[in-house]
C-alpha cells in the first residue's frame, strides 16, 4: 500500500471542496408551544478546504459535529448558514433538477452496512440504483458496470454476488457493496462516515486498503469521518480535529499525531491506547467530561476542560484557527 504522506504538495492549488463559515444550529427545548428555543450549536462556524485527490480526516469524539458536517457536504442536511462549494457547485443553492448531477459527483458511504443496505434488494439492485435514478446506460450497460464495480471492490466473480441479498453477505462484504454503490457513478468527492468502525480488524484492513486504491485509481477525494486516530493516520493526508462544533486543529496527519498543538488534540491523542504492553502512556491532561454545546458561552469551547486555561481564555471569544507553524493550524489563545 502506498503510504499517503506528501500527496498534498503535489496537488496544491486545485481545491475540490471549499467550506466557509459553516453553521448548523438545532433548536432544542421543552414543550410544543414554547417560543424561545435554545440552540444546540452542532457545527459552529467552521471553514476548511479539501484539495483534489486529498483525503481529509475529520476526527473527534461523539457529538462533536463531524457527522453533521459530512451530511451537510452531501446536502443530506441543510446548513443554518455558511457556504459549501463542491467541485464548483454551490451546495446550498442546488434545487430539484440540479440534484441529480450533484449526486453523481458527490456520494456518501455510511457507517453501518447492516442498516444502509435495503434488505429486500439484491446486490445488483443496490449497486445499480444510482445508475437507474440518474438514467445512465441501458440494462445491459448497467449490468456490465455493476459487474465491473463488484470485481473492483473485491467481490469476485461478480455473478456469484449480483443476485444475492445483503443478509447472505458478511459485514466486510456488505461494506464493499456500499462502497461499490457509492462509486458506481464515478463521483469526484466522497464523504465516508466511519466506514470501517463496524468491521473486525482482519476485515477492516482490507477495506482500508481498498479505499486507498480506489482513490489512486479514480482520483477521488474523501472526507473521512472517524473517531479512531490510528485509522485516520493511515488513511488521511491531513487531519482536522473537532471539539463541540469547532475545528480546533488542522494539519498534515503525521504532524497532528506527532506534534499536536491544541490542548484538546494533545489529550485526545494521549488517550489512544497503544498495542504494546511495554509502553506506559501519560495520563491525558483534561478535566471533566464533554457537555453539549447548547447556547454555548462565546469563549473558547474547551475552556471548562482545559488544563492550561488562562485569564485571556476566560475573557476572550473562541479563538480563530491560525497558522501556528507551517501549514499547521490551531485555535488556541495560548499558542
Question: Among the candidate windows 14-22, 96-104, 168-176, 182-190, which touches another protein by CB under 8 A?
Answer: 168-176
Site residues (CB under 8 A) for another protein, limited to 267-296: 267-269, 271-279, 281, 283-284, 286, 289-290
Residue 152 binds another protein, judged by CB under 8 A: no
Please list the residues that pair with 325 across neighbouring strands. 328
CA distance 324 to 136: 48
Q: How far is the CB of 68 from another protein (least distance, A)?
A: 17
Q: How far apart are CB 229 and another protein at their closest, in Å?
A: 6
Distance CA 175, CA 170 (A): 9
**Alpha helices per DSSP H over the chain:** 7-10, 66-73, 99-105, 123-133, 139-152, 159-162, 171-183, 201-218, 229-235, 253-258, 263-270, 311-315
Q: Does 6 bind another protein (CB under 8 A)?
A: no
By CB under 8 A, tell whether 28 contacts another protein. Answer: no
Task: Give the one residue of 145, 174, 233, 238 binding another protein; rule: CB under 8 A.
Answer: 233
Q: Tell me which residue has cell 462533536.
A: 64
For residue 303, state whether it binds another protein (rule: CB under 8 A): no
For the bound state, the minimum distance from the C-beta of residue 130 to another protein, rounded and expressed in Å, comes to 27
Q: What residues contact residue 18 under an 8 Å CB cut-off, 6+ apart?
A: 49, 83, 84, 85
DSSP-assigned states of every residue in 79-111? -SEEEEEETTEEGGG--GGGHHHHHHHEEEE-S
Regarding 97 and contact with another protein (CB under 8 A), the answer is no
Cell of 78: 441543510
Q: Is 259 in the site for another protein (CB under 8 A)?
A: no
Binding site residues, another protein, CB under 8 A: 1, 3, 5, 61-62, 170, 172-173, 200-206, 208-209, 227, 229-231, 233-234, 254, 257, 267-269, 271-279, 281, 283-284, 286, 289-290
Amino acid at each position: 500500500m502506498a503510504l499517503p504522506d506528501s500527496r498534498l504538495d503535489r496537488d496544491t492549488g486545485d481545491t475540490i471542496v471549499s467550506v466557509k463559515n459553516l453553521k448548523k444550529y438545532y433548536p432544542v427545548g421543552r414543550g410544543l408551544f414554547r417560543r424561545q428555543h435554545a440552540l444546540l450549536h452542532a457545527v459552529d462556524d467552521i471553514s476548511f478546504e479539501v484539495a483534489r485527490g486529498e483525503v481529509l480526516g475529520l476526527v473527534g469524539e461523539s457529538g462533536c459535529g463531524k457527522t453533521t458536517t459530512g451530511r451537510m457536504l452531501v446536502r443530506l442536511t441543510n446548513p443554518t448558514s455558511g457556504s459549501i462549494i463542491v467541485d464548483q457547485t454551490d451546495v446550498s443553492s442546488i434545487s430539484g433538477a440540479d440534484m441529480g448531477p450533484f449526486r453523481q459527483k458527490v456520494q456518501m458511504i455510511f457507517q453501518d452496512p447492516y442498516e444502509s443496505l435495503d434488505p429486500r434488494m439484491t446486490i445488483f439492485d443496490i449497486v445499480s440504483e444510482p445508475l437507474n435514478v440518474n438514467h445512465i446506460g441501458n440494462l445491459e450497460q448497467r449490468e456490465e458496470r455493476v459487474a465491473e464495480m463488484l470485481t473492483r471492490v473485491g467481490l469476485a466473480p461478480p455473478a456469484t454476488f449480483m443476485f444475492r441479498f445483503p443478509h447472505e453477505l458478511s459485514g466486510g462484504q456488505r461494506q464493499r457493496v456500499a462502497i461499490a454503490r457509492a462509486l458506481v457513478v464515478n463521483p469526484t468527492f466522497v464523504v465516508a462516515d466511519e466506514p470501517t468502525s463496524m468491521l473486525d480488524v482482519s476485515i477492516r484492513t482490507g477495506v482500508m486498503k481498498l479505499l486507498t486504491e480506489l482513490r489512486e485509481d479514480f482520483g477521488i477525494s474523501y472526507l473521512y469521518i472517524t473517531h479512531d486516530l490510528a485509522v485516520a493516520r493511515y488513511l488521511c493526508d491531513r487531519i482536522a480535529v473537532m471539539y463541540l462544533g469547532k475545528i480546533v486543529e488542522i494539519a498534515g496527519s503525521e504532524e497532528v499525531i506527532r506534534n499536536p498543538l491544541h490542548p484538546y488534540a494533545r489529550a485526545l491523542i494521549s488517550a489512544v491506547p497503544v498495542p504494546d504492553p511495554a509502553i506506559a502512556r501519560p495520563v491525558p491532561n483534561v478535566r471533566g467530561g464533554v457537555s453539549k454545546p447548547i447556547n454555548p458561552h462565546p469563549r473558547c469551547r474547551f475552556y471548562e476542560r482545559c488544563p492550561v486555561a488562562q485569564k485571556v481564555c476566560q475573557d476572550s471569544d473562541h479563538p480563530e484557527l491560525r497558522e501556528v507553524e507551517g501549514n499547521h493550524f490551531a485555535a488556541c489563545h495560548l499558542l
